[in-house]
């Protein structure tokens, strides 16, 4: 499997090169040159998630990573459960939640980060080189990446997050002391953080350092995210189902589209957005530029300029995108109301991101009358957002022991002005 750039002006590269570069030299994003078929026999029959993962990845990456390496990395990285939970209650027949938050940092970002860390470390060890990963995070990416990469000795990590714009628990998770991980609190928005990372990659003054990204701009994060889509269908046994994806940078949705193009029978995707509604408006035919991000309760989806948009458009060109994806924008008060209603009707406590998905699912069924089995991806554990859960449900979520343990070793992040120059100076000084 080879990879090409969405900007169309970079050479075709191997998975190793796409993984280690992150962004293509022409500024585009890597997409598969063509998508391999994954036969139903490769995923329908397996009842172990890591084994199924290795089966699916073999047609994608088998030329560069042996089946036994794919299997051992999958077994180590995907060592937590991925339950499919049926909701019950009015209007929710055949509605399921796929819980993607049972990894160490309690969000779906653990899947991509843990797999990618091990793939990258494998290639760096083979080359006998060291790599620095730059990550802009709106909340969950940073802690997942820091956790996934901690202890991989060929790699260091620099995290940038928007100061004061992540939840207190998220901030604590970001600043847990970890070997080889630096955390910077940027005095700006998430989009500023992304801009600084992009500028560092283009900066001639930093060209002697081996830099890479672990954002959803990296194809290595997206490939592992295909796996749980297959798992949901394997668990449910459906011939066809609708999948609803709480979305921000559109990486998760892009991974789902790659899974579908690889053979997974997805009837339709629902892109569930909060007030950051660029993508729903685009699908409704409005042409409009990327905007600034707006702060909401579902802050990991506060993205005004979704970085995977061009990837999605290259995978689903022209009309195909609006035919296969239905989208909705859910306001903060509707998010709270959805959390409360779902809890009252089914007893299920959803986090605010998942709630945006659940509300989108309800609207989709109402608008289309399509009652096909519907899976909502649950992207985070409610304990990561105790204030919002308490506001919606009048009771605090239960704190899982692994989160409690993690939060014991936090420290203060270093503050950084939101300029490319300040970031360059810091990198030159710290990464010698
Ligand atoms: C990152 C994140 C999202 C958005 O995922 P994208 O791939 O950026 O669209 C949704 N929910 C949670 C909890 C997240 O951490």
In this predicted structure, what is the pLDDT of residue 432? 64
Sequence-ordered strand ranges (E) for 276-360: 325-329
109 is catalytic: yes
Distance 248 CA to ligand 1 centre (A): 6
Chain Cα centroid distance, residue 192: 19
Q: Is the CB of 329 under 6 A from ligand 1?
A: no
Does the C-beta of 148 come closer than 6 Å to ligand 1? no
pLDDT band of 403, cuts 50, 70, 90: confident
Atom number, ligand 1, closest to the C-alpha of residue 252: 7
pLDDT score of 382? 96
Backbone angles phi, psi at 277, to 5 degrees: -110, 25
Which position has the token pair 């604590």? 172
What is the rounded CA–CA span in Å between residue 365 and residue 369?
Answer: 5
Q: In the beta sheet, which residues pair with residue 96?
A: 86, 375
Kind and range of the H or E run holding 155: strand 155-162
How far is the CA of 48 from the CAs of 34, 45, 199, in angstroms?
A: 27, 9, 42
Position 167 scores a pLDDT of: 79
Half-sphere exposure of 327 (CA within 13 A, CB side): 24
Residues 56, 67: Cα–Cα separation, whole Å: 10
**Rounded-to-integer distance, Cα 181 and Cα 155, Å:** 9
CA distance 114 to 96: 25
Lowest-confidence pick of 18-22, 57-61, 386-390: 18-22
CA distance to 159, 276, 333, per residue, from 296 (Å): 22, 9, 10
pTM, rounded to two decimals: 0.92
What are the tens digits of pLDDT across the range 174-215?
A: 999 898 899 999 999 988 998 999 899 899 999 888 888 776
Contact criterion met (CB below 8 Å) for 336 and 359 = no
Supply 108's token pair. 């779906």
* Ligand 1 contact, 247 CB (< 6 A): yes
Across 394-411, average pLDDT: 85
Q: How many residues comprise the chain?
A: 432
Distance 125 CA to ligand 1 centre (A): 30
For 21, the token pair is 């570069």
140 lines ligand 1 (CB under 6 A): yes
pLDDT digit string (tens) for 291-312? 888 999 999 899 999 999 999 9
DSSP-assigned states of every residue in 352-363: HHHHHHHHHHHH
Buried/exposed code over 135-150 (b: 16+ C-beta within 10 A; e: otherwise): bbbbbbbbbbbbbbbb
432 CA to centre of ligand 1 in angstroms: 33
Q: How confident is the model at residue 224 (pLDDT cuts 50, 70, 90)?
A: very high
Rounded to 10 degrees, the C-alpha dihedral 173/174/180/185 comes to -160
Answer whether residue 155 shows pLDDT above 90. Answer: yes
The verdict on the CB of residue 350 being under 6 Å from ligand 1 is no
Residues 6+ apart with CB under 8 A from 49: 78, 81, 82, 227, 228, 231
Q: What is the pLDDT of residue 148?
A: 93
pLDDT at 281: 95
Q: How far is CA 384 from the centre of its chain?
A: 16
Instruction: Summarize the confidence of residues 135-161 as an average pLDDT.
Output: 88
The answer, yes or no, to whether any atom of ligand 1 lies below 6 A from the CB of 107, is yes
Rounded mean pLDDT, 87-111: 93
Atom of ligand 1 nearest to the CA of 351: 13
Q: Is pLDDT above 90 for 10?
A: yes
CA of 165 relative to ligand 1 center, distance in Å? 15
More confident residue, 273 or 89: 273
pLDDT-based confidence at residue 21 (cuts at 50, 70, 90): confident
| R_g of the chain computed on alpha carbons | 20
- Determine which residue's CA is closest to atom 15 belonging to ligand 1: 140
Beta-strand pair 241-246/181-186: unpaired
Question: Pick from 214, 221, 219: which is nearest to 157 by CA?
Answer: 214
Please state, in angstroms and rounded to a whole number, the distance separating the CA atoms of residues 68 and 72: 6
What per-residue confidence (pLDDT) applies to 190?
Answer: 86
Mean pLDDT taken over the chain: 93
What pLDDT, in 10s, does the model give residues 249-282?
Answer: 999 999 999 999 999 999 999 999 999 999 999 9
pLDDT, average across residues 9-14: 96
Structure tokens that stand for 347 in this block: 């007893």
Nearest atom, ligand 1, residue 138 CA: 1
pLDDT at 410: 82
CA nearest neighbour of 79 among 107, 117, 51: 51
For ligand 1, the distance from its centroid to the CA atom of residue 379, given in whole angstroms, is: 7
Ligand 1 center to 66 CA (angstroms): 30
Catalytic residue among 93, 109, 384, 390: 109
Whole-angstrom distance, CA of residue 36 vs CA of residue 2 = 11
Ligand 1 in reach of 250 Cβ (< 6 A): yes
Task: Choose one of 29, 97, 108, 254 to mutate for the ligand 1 pocket test, by most ligand atoms within 8 angstroms of C-beta.
Answer: 108
Q: For a substitution probing ligand 1, which of 99, 104, 107 has the most ligand atoms within 8 Å of its CB?
A: 107
* pLDDT at residue 216 in the model: 67
Q: What does the alpha-carbon distance between residue 138 and residue 302 come to, in Å, rounded to a whole number?
A: 7
pLDDT at residue 293 in the model: 87
Percent share of the chain, pLDDT over 70: 99
Give the pLDDT confidence of 326-356 residue by residue, as tens digits: 999 999 999 999 999 999 999 999 999 999 9
Provide the pLDDT for residue 41: 87
Which residue's CA is the nearest one to ligand 1's atom 14? Answer: 300
Q: What percent of the chain has pLDDT over 90?
A: 77
- Residue-level pLDDT at 89: 80
Q: pLDDT tens, 36-52? A: 999 998 899 888 999 99
Is residue 123 scored above 90 in pLDDT?
A: yes
Q: Is 249 in the pocket of ligand 1 (CB under 6 A)?
A: yes
Query: Considering only 169-173, 225-229, 257-261, which range has the smallest mean pLDDT?
Result: 169-173
């Amino acid at each position: 499997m080879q990879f090409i750039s969405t900007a169309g002006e970079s050479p075709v590269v191997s998975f190793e090169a796409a993984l280690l570069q992150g962004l293509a030299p022409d500024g585009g994003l890597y997409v598969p040159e063509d998508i391999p078929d994954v036969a139903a026999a490769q995923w329908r029959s397996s009842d172990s998630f890591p084994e199924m993962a290795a089966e699916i990845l073999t047609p994608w990456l088998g030329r560069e990573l042996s089946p036994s390496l794919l299997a051992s990395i999958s077994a180590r990285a995907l060592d937590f459960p991925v339950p499919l939970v049926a909701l019950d209650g009015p209007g929710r027949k055949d509605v399921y939640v796929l819980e993607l938050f049972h990894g160490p940092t309690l969000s779906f970002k653990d899947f991509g980060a843990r797999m990618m860390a091990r793939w990258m470390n494998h290639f760096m060890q083979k080359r006998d080189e060291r790599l620095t990963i730059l990550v802009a995070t709106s909340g969950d990416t940073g802690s997942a990446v820091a956790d996934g990469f901690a202890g991989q000795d060929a790699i260091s990590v620099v995290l940038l997050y928007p100061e004061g714009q992540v939840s207190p628990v998220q901030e604590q998770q970001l600043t847990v002391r970890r070997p080889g991980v630096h955390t910077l609190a940027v005095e700006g928005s998430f989009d500023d953080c992304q801009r600084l990372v992009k500028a560092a990659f283009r900066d001639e003054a930093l060209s002697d350092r081996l830099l890479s990204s672990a954002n959803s701009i990296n194809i290595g994060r997206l490939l592992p995210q295909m796996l749980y889509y297959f798992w949901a269908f394997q668990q449910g046994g459906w011939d066809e189902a609708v999948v609803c994806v709480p979305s921000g940078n559109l990486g998760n949705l892009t991974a789902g589209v790659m899974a579908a193009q690889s053979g997974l029978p997805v009837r339709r995707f629902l892109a569930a957005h909060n007030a950051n509604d660029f993508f729903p408006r685009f699908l409704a035919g409005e042409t409009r530029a990327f905007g600034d991000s707006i702060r909401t309760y579902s802050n990991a989806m506060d993205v005004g300029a979704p970085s995977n948009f061009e990837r999605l458009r290259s995978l689903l060109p022209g009309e195909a995108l609006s035919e296969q994806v239905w989208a909705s924008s859910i306001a903060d008060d509707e998010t709270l109301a959805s959390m409360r209603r779902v809890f009252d009707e089914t007893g299920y406590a959803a986090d605010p991101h998942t709630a945006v998905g659940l509300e989108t699912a309800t609207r989709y069924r109402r608008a289309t009358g399509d009652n096909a089995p519907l899976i909502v991806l649950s992207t985070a554990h409610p304990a990561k957002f105790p204030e919002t859960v308490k506001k919606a449900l009048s009771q605090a979520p239960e704190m899982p022991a692994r989160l409690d343990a993690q939060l014991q070793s936090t420290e203060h992040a270093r503050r950084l002005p939101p300029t490319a120059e300040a970031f360059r100076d810091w990198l030159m000084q710290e990464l010698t």
